Amino acid sequence: MNRVLRPQRLVSQAVSDAARLVAPSGIGLDSPGVRLRMVERLRRGGRLDEAVLQAMERVPRHRFVDSALAPQAYEDTALPIGHGQTISKPSVVARMLSLLREGQGAQQRGGLGRTLEIGTGCGYQAAVLAGLASELVSVERILALHQGAVQRLAALQPELGWARTPRLLHADGQSVDAWRGPFDSIVSAAGGDDIPAAWLQALAPGGRLVAPTQQAGGGQALTVVDHVLSGGRSEWVRQTVEGVHFVPLRSGLV
């Protein structure tokens, strides 16, 4: 008797991934007014950089989530994007990018400069960063997420007209081999026990890094690191800002 081999998880996962690449439309999601209302709520909360908010006004967040979750796209909530990952809350994206722009180097140059994002995910934060950075390199260790982000950002390029197309890499976020630093700004969408030494070495003098890290008492908090020169020597000055919750930082390609 011939046996029929029936693929199980791979087909279902492929169908699920394909669904995530379908841009939701209708129910008012295509209206810029929906995004404007989300950003206005963030603006009323204070502490956020106006250039960041204006960049978020332009990026259609509903294009980065499953069709079934699209009605929640402009709420201040994290949403699943598959593979155990999430798209961050709009308020968290805005806060982290605002912290980057508050750095002394960003203030002096008038922008984020050459920027590295660790953890592309679905590509939403990369789309916002593309409107703020002179050059963006974004790395993602999960191939399916990387491929989805490449397709979404390519589709948005004509609409948003970035001066320079983001460079997306399928790479390990804890390895510097493919990054070609240094970078003026570094932001991570995953949290580890500490800031990897490779990230600090990739941060240019005058640059700023923002990433979640595990705290001794439990939980995570945003850590801000500034690379300063003192007497001709490099120093990395750290400060802990506020509590957050991110997926754990992992190494290795998937």
Catalytic positions, please? 88
Task: Count Cβ atoms below 10 Å from residue 85 Cβ, excluding itself.
Answer: 18
Separation CA 94–CA 89 (nearest Å): 9
Separation CA 235–CA 41 (nearest Å): 37
Query: Pairing between strand 220-230 and 203-214?
Result: antiparallel
Helix (H, G, I), strand (E, B) or coil at 131: coil
Residues in the chain: 254
Separation CA 136–CA 37 (nearest Å): 27
Separation CA 76–CA 10 (nearest Å): 32
For residues 49 and 101, the answer to whether their CB atoms sit within 8 Å is: yes
Separation CA 171–CA 174 (nearest Å): 9
